[in-house]
Amino acid sequence: MDLHEAIRGRRPIRKFKPTPVPRDLLAEVMDLALWAPSSGGEHEYELVVTRGALRARIQEAVVEQLESIRADCERDHGHKIAEEVTAFYRDFGGAPVLVFAYAGTLPDGRDDTFGISVAVHNMMLGAHAAGLGTAWAGLPCAHSVERAAGLADNGKTLVGIVPVGFPDEEARPTARKDNRVRWIGY
């Protein structure tokens, strides 16, 4: 797939087929994530790929904790977002794979959210080019999910969860604002 097509054609997918994702295909996608630029070339982030029994356990734990996730979300982001987020978290669209995206730590101790974000975007583009769908299940409640899932503490900050699988819905086009680029002296 041509790069322009990959960038313009990737849209969030929130409904997935149960078809397993072959490891080789996913390994190519994960490798593309690692080719993203990073601050100081350190690539300190971590991407944790889960499927099968662990994926199922995570889902059970999340569903058990859904009300507390909803409460956390509602407190921080209001009712509408809490409803949307918990609806998606209930089964992550049936995605057979969940990727947990952790930020590395910068030399000054801050989380390198930029580094993990560009890596995740590479991954999402690579997945799209490979015929896979992704969505970024984002910041509001990721910590509650991590706690609920009982993932071992790796000392890094979880910034998002990316469900991955073969799409079971048409990607919906989203509009773009045309005033985001300012041209000076050009």
Cα 14 to Cα 35, 118, 166, distances in angstroms: 26, 21, 11
Q: Which range in 30-38, 55-63, 102-110, 129-137 contacts ligand FMN by CB under 6 A?
A: 129-137
85 scored as a contact of ligand FMN (CB under 6 A): yes
| Residue carrying structure tokens 């569903």 | 63
Number of residues near ligand FMN (by CB under 6 A): 11
**Residue 169 burial by CB count (10 A; 0-12/13-18/19+): exposed, middle or buried?**
middle
Q: Is 172 buried (19+), middle (13-18) or exposed (0-12) by CB count in 10 A?
A: exposed
Q: Which is nearer to ligand FMN, 62 or 85 (CB)?
A: 85
Q: Is 135 in the site for ligand FMN (CB under 6 A)?
A: yes
Amino acid at 135: A
CB-nearer residue toward ligand FMN: 9 or 54: 9
Q: Which is nearer to ligand FMN, 85 or 164 (CB)?
A: 85
Q: Is 166 in the site for ligand FMN (CB under 6 A)?
A: no
- Specify the amino acid at residue 159: V
| Nearer CB in complex with ligand FMN: 94/138 | 138
Q: Is 9 in the site for ligand FMN (CB under 6 A)?
A: no
User: Is there binding between residue 139 and ligand FMN (CB under 6 A)?
Assistant: yes
What angle is formed at CA 185 by the lines to CA 182 and CA 186, rounded to 5 degrees? 75
Kindly list the residues in this chain that would bind ligand FMN in the complex (CB under 6 A).
11-12, 14, 85, 88, 135-139, 174
